[in-house]
Amino acid sequence: MAASPYLPTERFARWRKAKSTAVTCVLVLCALAVIAPLFLVIYFLIVHGSSSIDINFFTQLPKPTGEDGGGMANAIVGTMELLAMASIVGVPLGVLGGIYLAEYGSDKANDWLRFAADVLNGVPSIVWGMVVYLMLVVPFKTFSAYAGGVALGLMMVPLVMRTTEEVLILVPQSYREAALALGVARWKVIMVIVVRTALKGIATGVIVALARIAGETAPLLFTALGNNFWNHNLKEPIAALPLQIFAYAISPYDDWHRQAWAGALVLMALILALNITVRILSRDRTHNH
């Protein structure tokens, strides 16, 4: 067979190969550029944060403007309280909604609900702050821990709903049929058999949602507001780590900057701990099945 007249020249083949190699190098560099910020953020968090953290940070209240020392004890506790309140609002709504999607809804309605949940997920977090401000701050004429908790809780709803649905669908149909065949009422089957089976998955979803909202600042700005003292009444403003970090970071005082880094390190550790819990929970889940 005659040599094909269209055979690429040696040079052209080399050029193609070089181009491919160049692209490969660019891709590797891009991947490095994407993970670099993570290490830069973590590095500076550890360097600045760990040198600023001390026992006072965990035990004391913030000092008045410009005075050195003090800590964020109230903000740490405040964040925990806010997360607890958010769970009280977000978990029942999200889990029940997820149950509806997985166990009852028609395909078409579910498509719309899922779509709506994804849309809701895309609502900017600052908007939640404004909405809850009108709902709970204006009528009661005060910023409050409640308002902050509700704002965070509403943000959790679509997240928890979607993950609950996903894990409930994974529960084998035969479990439901077996229980129904025994004459157990449907709602009992769902709560006792289905939800119980998927409990770990649901818990994982809730923790994922908590990890997501734990660092939210914007929705708290005009709801929880922040507080330099202990909160003794949930109808009053409450401190939160992200709020405190924000306030200190934009302040002009070096000592507050130091504390902002310490707060950021603690917040990041909290979020990492939640994420690691998720990882452990879901690892168990994949092992069991």
Partner 1 sequence: MSTLPEAPSARASSDPIRVATTPNSAATAGLPVENEEVAFDIRNFSLWYGQRQALVDVTIKIPARKVTAIIGPSGCGKSTFLRALNRMHELTPGTRLEGSLRHFGSDLYGPGVEAVSIRRRVGMVFQKSNPFPTMSIAENVLVGLRLNGVRDKAVLQERLEKSLHMAALWDEVKDHLNRPGTSLSGGQQQRLCIARSLAVQPETLLMDEPCSALDPLATAKIEELIQTLRQEYTVVIVTHNMQQAARCSDRTAFFYMGKLIEFGNTRNMFTNPGNPQTEAYVSGRFG
Partner 2 sequence: MPGPGSRAPDIAFKWVAALAASMIIVLIVLVGWQLYAGSRMSLSKFGPSFLWSSEWDPVQDKYGALPFIFGTLVSSLLALLIAVPLGVATAIFLTELAPQKLRQPIVMAIEMLAAVPSVIFGLWGIFVLIPWLRDHLFVWLRHYFGFLPLFQGPIYGVSMLAAGIVVAIMILPIITSISREILRSVPNLQREAAYALGATRWEVLKIAVLSYARRGLFGAAVLGLGRALGETMAVTMVIGNRPQISASLFAPGYTLASVIANEFTEATSDLYLNSLFELGLVLMGVAIMVNIAAQVMLKSMTGSGPIKVN
Residues 10-39 that bind partner 1 (CB under 8 A): 12-13, 16-17
- Does residue number 26 form part of the binding site for partner 2 (CB under 8 A)? yes
Q: Among residue numbers 236 through 255, which ones bind partner 2 (CB under 8 A)? A: 242, 245-246, 249-250
- What are the Cα distances from residue 251, in Å, to 234, 245, 255? 27, 10, 10
CB of 4 to partner 1, least distance (A): 4
Supply the angle between the helices 241-249 and 73-99 in degrees, to the nearest 10: 130
**Sole window of 75-83, 144-152, 153-161, 194-202 interacting with partner 2 (rule: CB under 8 A):** 153-161
Residue the block writes with tokens 């880094």: 261
The contacts of residue 268 (CB under 8 Å, 6+ apart) are 42, 45
Q: Residue 258 carries which side chain, given as an amino acid letter?
A: R
DSSP calls for 66-96:
T---B--HHHHHHHHHHHHHHHHHHHHHHHH
Q: Interface residues for partner 1 in 128-157 (CB under 8 A)?
A: none
Among 52, 158, 179, 227, the residue binding partner 2 under the rule CB under 8 A is: 158
Please report which helix (H) or strand (E) contains residue 2, including its range: none
By CB under 8 A, the count of residues binding partner 2 is 91
Residue nearer to partner 2 on the CB measure, 126 or 193 = 126
Stretch of residues binding partner 2 (CB under 8 A), selected from 35-43, 58-66, 171-179, 195-203: 35-43
State the alpha helices, DSSP H only, in the chain: 10-52, 55-59, 73-99, 107-121, 125-132, 138-140, 145-170, 173-181, 186-188, 195-197, 199-214, 218-221, 241-249, 254-288
Residue 226 structure tokens:
């922040």
Partner from partner 2, partner 1, none contacting 131, C-beta within 5 to 8 A by type: partner 2
User: x/- binding map, residues 175-214, to partner 2, per CB under 8 A?
Assistant: -----x--x-xxx--xx----------------x--xx-x
Return the one option of partner 2, partner 1, none that residue 88 interacts with (CB less than 5 to 8 A, by type): none
Q: Which of 170, 272, 273, 280 binds partner 2 (CB under 8 A)?
A: 272
Q: Which does 58 bind (CB under 5 to 8 A by kind): partner 1, partner 2, none?
A: none
3-state secondary structure of 238: strand
Could you list the residues that contact partner 1 (CB under 8 A)?
1, 4, 6-9, 12-13, 16-17
